[in-house]
A and B are shown apart, each in its own frame.
Chain A
């Protein structure tokens, strides 16, 4: 049904909307022509929007694009948004930039893939987008061709996006809600708009659009599960707004632990913007999570009741077996056991770990494979990656042990496959 609808709408869309008018190329604007305060405002907004995260490839020049984003439709490459005239957006007028952010249309009139979350950026105000334009146009121009997207037919046809937009996209800035406080309105404006939290934290339908009915109900990005930020949150210890602020601002908050994986660069960026804005984001997400109800606190209490892990004799079974308890004792206990030497350096007791308690095993797999860099805000111990030290099977065995020892959740299945799959999108430790 979905594909047929899309093709039909694509046909309709093709006739009327498949190509918007091209906007004329301009000379790259002189950097001296931009107001310094506007550039500074744009810099903060770019951090909130995490533009650098998608638009910079590993070891690449900032904003020069080239980073692949795997989607169910194929791989899309983030574009070069430095002000290079040939390979970047140097020839884009402010009008062209505003149109791209508000309507998802390229300067030449082609539709942009919604992997670029203009369904969120459309909510940003014209003033803010002008500041972003000023910021981007004053970056170092880098000559870097963006690789062609690797999308199979028919997804490679941009005209189909016109149909997608008819179904799923509504352009328009977010207006303040008079029933909300100023802080919550600011939080809503940032979260729904530039910060685009829902782009990762919302499940998507088969055509890749966010499922509004389950908004912030959990999604995925780069092989990691992005947990629900609404009432469906699976966190063993419920989040408060204060804790969210600490997590987003500093990349670490007891008792929840360290921002890992795709949240690391987000926390690094939010560590550098105004505290007020991070508080607003935290307040809004806190409101979405809802209060820690009695039943949630009870569930959390049950899973943290094992203050010490269930006893397991390390040398049970054959002495040369690398069973989960042995691996934990030799590789993990040092930092994760309250009696371990390095426990004070941000090693959390795994009973509080949200990734151990999660239904989706991928996040813990990534954490074990890649480790976690220390948060930028505080020099601290890092978690080393164990991708080289442990084989797929050993990681699977370890994860089974962690799950049964540190949570009351049902066992994961197919762990070896999960590990194998995760290695493909894993960073080198």
Chain B
């Protein structure tokens, strides 16, 4: 029996060691933030953080997560009290169908934890691992920019920025 450390709490799980983390998070622990988009490590909808770095949970066997910190969307905040990156995504109304968004938020969180002042190029290169089919890319980028900006000021909840409308 393996024990996973998810969002700061230990979770003993029955799944076999080779089982990808995505299925254990959703089916055993009941954390449905991470999504199954492709199950092949191609789309990023399953992105969570492992030791502060974004990983594709559909191709990460739980065996390698032993003793390491797993952070999911649920660990960034709640519906009543969303975290800064989540608030930025809400303020920019970055979701359309919403399927990619959890992965996008985790990916952005991973970036900002290591580089709180990313350049536009850095944001785009970093976020390019996650796919969006509805085409809300510009709003997603605006949300990441806003979250980075919020490190400097406290205006995360201001109205959506103009550049997302272009």
Contacts and interface: CB of A to CB of B under 8 A. Distances in A.
Given A381-B40, A381-B42, A389-B50, A331 B59 contact: yes
Given A59-B121, A391-B64, A314 B56 contact: no
Interface string B32-66: 00000001111000000011011110011111101
B63 A384 contact: no
Give the one of B41, B51, B119, B129 with max A CB within 10 A.
Answer: B41
A327 B40 contact: no
Contacts of B62: 330
A331 B125 CA distance: 24
Contacts of A382: 42
Contact of A320 (B50, B60, B63): B63
A322 B55 contact: no
A382 B62 CA distance: 22
A315 B63 CA distance: 10
Contacts of A388: 50-51, 53-55
A332 to B, nearest CB: 8
B40 A334 contact: yes
A425 interface: no
Contacts of A414: none
B17 A326 contact: yes
A341 interface: yes
Given A322-B63, A334-B59, A384-B56, A314 B18 contact: yes
A381 B41 CA distance: 9
Nearest to A60: B121
B22 to A, nearest CB: 11
Given A320-B63, A331-B61, A326 B40 contact: no
Interface residues of B, number: 31
Contacts of B41: 334-335, 384
A22 interface: no
Interface in B45-100: 50-51, 53-56, 59-64, 66, 68
Contact of A319 (B17, B61, B64): B17
Name the prevailing secondary structure of the A interface residues. loop
B60 A389 contact: yes
Contacts of A384: 41-42, 56, 59, 129
A327 B54 contact: no
A303 interface: no
Interface string A376-403: 0000011010001111001000000000
A331 B57 CA distance: 10
Contacts of A389: 50, 55-56, 59-60, 64
B130 to A, nearest CB: 12
Contacts of B56: 384, 389
Interface string B1-23: 11000000000000011111000
Contacts of A330: 17-20, 59-64
B28 interface: no
A321 interface: yes
B61 A327 contact: yes
Nearest to B16: A315
6 contacts: A59-B122, A320-B17, A330-B59, A331-B61, A384-B56, A388-B50
Please name the 4 residue pairs, one residue from A and one from B, whose CB atoms are nearest each other, closest first: A330-B61, A388-B53, A329-B18, A322-B63
